[in-house]
Structure 1
Amino acid sequence: MIRFISAEQTLPLRSLVLRNGFPEAECMFDHDTLPTTFHLGYYNEEIELTCILTCMKENHGKLPKDAYRLRGMATHPDHRRKGYAAELLNACISHLQNQLGIAYLWFNARTIAFPFYEALGFEFMSDEFDIPGIGPHREMFKYIG
């Protein structure tokens, strides 16, 4: 089941999966509480939050229209490769298209996630770069309008 969740509900998975166990308070994003930002969570049959994402309004200079940025997508290690992340991301795209009228979704993807995003139709728009303390990434986007 997919639900809108609060920024605070994303923090345990962000800490575990994306920030190597950093304190949850250090896992907040600057835009987490803005009214244009939303957070989605995937709950498995056991009613456990197993996958999360955050989506915030943020234009990108390489894209021609208003865009949203995907941040903090994470799946609990015990629940990977079950299709939860793809289902959650597709729900996010549907919300952006149908409720917000957004044409582009972009993000910085970790190298390990390139195949996942490419399989969902996302394209690269940068060379690889390093985010200190986190690792190599590339910018990716998809036209969803």
Structure 2
Amino acid sequence: MAIIKKIATTETYPVRLPVLRKGKPVESCRFDGDDLETTLHFGLFLDQELVGIVSLFKKNNPVFLEKNQLQIQGMAVLENHRKKDFGKALIIQCEEECKNQGADLIWFNARMEACGFYEKMGYQKTGTPFAIPDVGEHIIMFKNNKNE
């Protein structure tokens, strides 16, 4: 059975590295804001093995007018554990945390190939695609948290 619990920043690295930073040095796994008191990291464990992660940052995007925004970053599931709804469970965990914190909006920069996954969960695209150097093509996606 899978369980989700809060984890430390460095505990995300064994999943961030092979999924999000493949072939790059482990230092590339550190994100700006990772160690802020307001940042949360969640790990999804299957039989005590960490197989998925997501981080939630208190960060406003000027594209949106909402005052209290949270940003999802670093959502990743190990390749041999995909297609088992683990990513969906991690996003739902973030949405619950957003509700707990009274956030108006949840947003993130989605990899283009992941947009379909997020759209099925009710997220919308906004703006035009853009490149994140050494990472790839992304687009901003969001969900208003107040109408859920």
Deviation >4 Å, runs of 4+: none
**Normalising to structure 1: TM-score of the pair?**
0.95
Counterpart AA for 1:130: A
Q: CA deviation at 1:60?
A: 1.0
Query: For residues 50 and 36 of structure 2, what CA distance do their matches in structure 1 show?
Result: 22
Q: CA deviation at 1:62?
A: 1.8
**In structure 1, what is the equivalent of residue 96 of structure 2?**
94
Query: For residues 61 and 25 of structure 1, what CA distance do their matches in structure 2 show?
Result: 28
Q: Mark the runs of 5 or more structure 2 residues left unpaired by the alignment.
A: none
- Contact 2:72/2:94 (8 A) holds in 1: no
Query: What do residues 55-96 of structure 1 show as CA deviations (whole Å, max 9, x unaligned)?
Result: 101111121222011111100001000001101110111011
Query: For residues 70 and 91 of structure 1, what CA distance do their matches in structure 2 show?
Result: 11
Query: For residues 132 and 24 of structure 1, what CA distance do their matches in structure 2 show?
Result: 17
**In structure 1, what is the equivalent of residue 29 of structure 2?**
27
Query: For residues 30 and 95 of structure 1, what CA distance do their matches in structure 2 show?
Result: 20
**In structure 1, what is the equivalent of residue 54 of structure 2?**
53
Aligned length: 143
Q: CA deviation at 1:2?
A: 0.5
Q: Mark the runs of 5 or more structure 1 residues left unpaired by the alignment.
A: none
For 2:11, which of 9, 19, 22 is the aligned residue? 9
Q: CA deviation at 1:14?
A: 0.8
Helix, strand or coil for the counterpart of 1:35? Answer: coil
Q: CA deviation at 1:21?
A: 3.0
- Contact 2:15/2:78 (8 A) holds in 1: yes
> 127-136 vs 116-125, which deviates more?
127-136
Query: For residues 112 and 88 of structure 1, what CA distance do their matches in structure 2 show?
Result: 18
